[in-house]
Amino acid sequence: MVILAIETSCDETSAAVLSAGNGGGTGLAAREAAPPEILSNIVLSQDEIHAPYGGVVPELASRQHIKSIEAIVREALSRAGVELGAVDLFAVTQGPGLIGSLLVGLMFAKSLAYFGRKPVVGVDHLEAHLEAVFLENRGIPYPLLGLLVSGGHTSLYLMEGPLQNRLLGRTRDDAAGEALDKVAKFLGLGYPGGPVVERLGRGGDPAAFPFALPRTKDRSLDFSFSGLKTAALRHIRGQGLAKDSPRLADFLASFEEAVVRALLGNLAQAVETGEPRGLILCGGVARNTRLRTRFEDYASSVGLPAYIPSPKLCTDNAAMVAAVAFKKFRAGQVGPLDLDLDAYARR
């Protein structure tokens, strides 16, 4: 079968074509099924459009999706060498995300499905991030702990079985990526902040600036990054740090280190209380080298396998959306063409 997936939840316009064998059956057998093959996964970033504002401007994002969506879908089909008529299943991100942006992808996918008389599956964006590793690995054993770290979300999930994800904790304020983006914005380093903080902090001393880690009094698995962000702004003001400060690399490395420690602290607490058979790291911030390395080191210290998508599958992309649609199809959860499918900004 051939799946065409569309993702427009934030500021990336993406379309992907994947092909999956029909062998393996449905239900339990789906666990061992070979992952679908990515024939194309086109991602058009809007970074340049939002960079002057230091963050995503929702109205500009949706307008840009409208301009790009048709060309991106055409490009995905052409790179895959697949005709539109050969698509068996359409998949599209339904939410959470920016409502105007989501609607562009959703309406486009519904139109294609209606035109081709093929089913269209709505996919949850967070579930798609968690599913990305399954495109590159076979036979990952459940239960798993999934740490999702992006610009909009920072959450910890117990993944009990295929598409059975239970939320254990989430951020009470800023997401980790958002904190990185805001600190970079405050220093005028550009957008998105995560990759800039990583690049400019490389070689810096991660112990140079002290950051007290957030601790929730109730030992819950929720995260909090606004305290770290405020502490970062205090260092910046207190020490007069700027773009060209000699201590900038030390400061950025220290802040990145604090974010990584906060993430891994909650993960370790969840590992102690649950009995996962593996650990998943995903979301845009999972591109970060310090986080990837420390996550792997932690996993091996507790004798668990670590699964992290390759960098291009960490940030928003449509292939991960297709991965969820594929599992839903295998589980018999795909109905006939449903044009009532609606977008949601939040879960």
| Binding status of residue 171 toward Zn ion by CB under 5 A | no
CB of 12 to ligand KG4, least distance (A): 7
How far apart CA 12 and CA 17 sit, in angstroms, is 16
Q: Which of Zn ion, ligand KG4, none binds 146 (CB below 5-8 Å, type-dependent)?
A: none
Say which amino acid occupies 90: F
Q: Which of Zn ion, ligand KG4, none binds 201 (CB below 5-8 Å, type-dependent)?
A: none
Instruction: List strand residue ranges (DSSP E) for 176-313, in order.
Output: 278-282, 306-307
| Positions in the binding site for ligand KG4 (CB under 6 A) | 10, 150-152, 177, 180-181, 192-195, 198, 283-285, 287-288, 315-316
List Cα–Cα distances, 30 to 21, 24, 194, 220, in angstroms. 11, 6, 36, 34
Q: Which of Zn ion, ligand KG4, none binds 288 (CB below 5-8 Å, type-dependent)?
A: ligand KG4
Q: Which of Zn ion, ligand KG4, none binds 181 (CB below 5-8 Å, type-dependent)?
A: ligand KG4
Query: What does the radius of gyration of the chain's CA atoms come to, in whole angstroms?
Result: 20
Instruction: List strand residue ranges (DSSP E) for the chain, in order.
Output: 2-7, 12-19, 37-45, 89-95, 120-124, 144-149, 154-161, 164-170, 278-282, 306-307
- Indicate the residue among 118 and 287 with the shorter CB distance to Zn ion: 287
CB of 262 to ligand KG4, least distance (A): 14
CB of 205 to ligand KG4, least distance (A): 18
- Indicate the residue among 251 and 295 with the shorter CB distance to Zn ion: 295
Q: Which of ligand KG4, Zn ion, none binds 127 (CB below 5-8 Å, type-dependent)?
A: none
Q: Which of Zn ion, ligand KG4, none binds 285 (CB below 5-8 Å, type-dependent)?
A: ligand KG4
Give me the sign of the Cα torsion angle 234, 235, 240, 242.
negative
CB of 278 to Zn ion, least distance (A): 21
**Residue 49 CB neighbour total at 10 angstroms:** 16
Element (H, E) at 225: none
How far apart CA 269 and CA 88 sit, in angstroms, is 43
| Binding status of residue 150 toward Zn ion by CB under 5 A | yes
**Binding to Zn ion, residues 301-330 (CB under 5 A):** 316
CB of 242 to Zn ion, least distance (A): 31
CB of 198 to ligand KG4, least distance (A): 4
How far apart CA 74 and CA 92 sit, in angstroms, is 16
Q: How far is CA 137 from the centre of its chain?
A: 17
Q: Which of Zn ion, ligand KG4, none binds 133 (CB below 5-8 Å, type-dependent)?
A: none
Give me the sign of the Cα torsion angle 331, 333, 336, 340.
negative
- Which range of residues in 143-151, 235-243, 296-304, 337-345 is near Zn ion by CB under 5 A? 143-151
Which chain residues interact with Zn ion by CB under 5 A? 150, 316
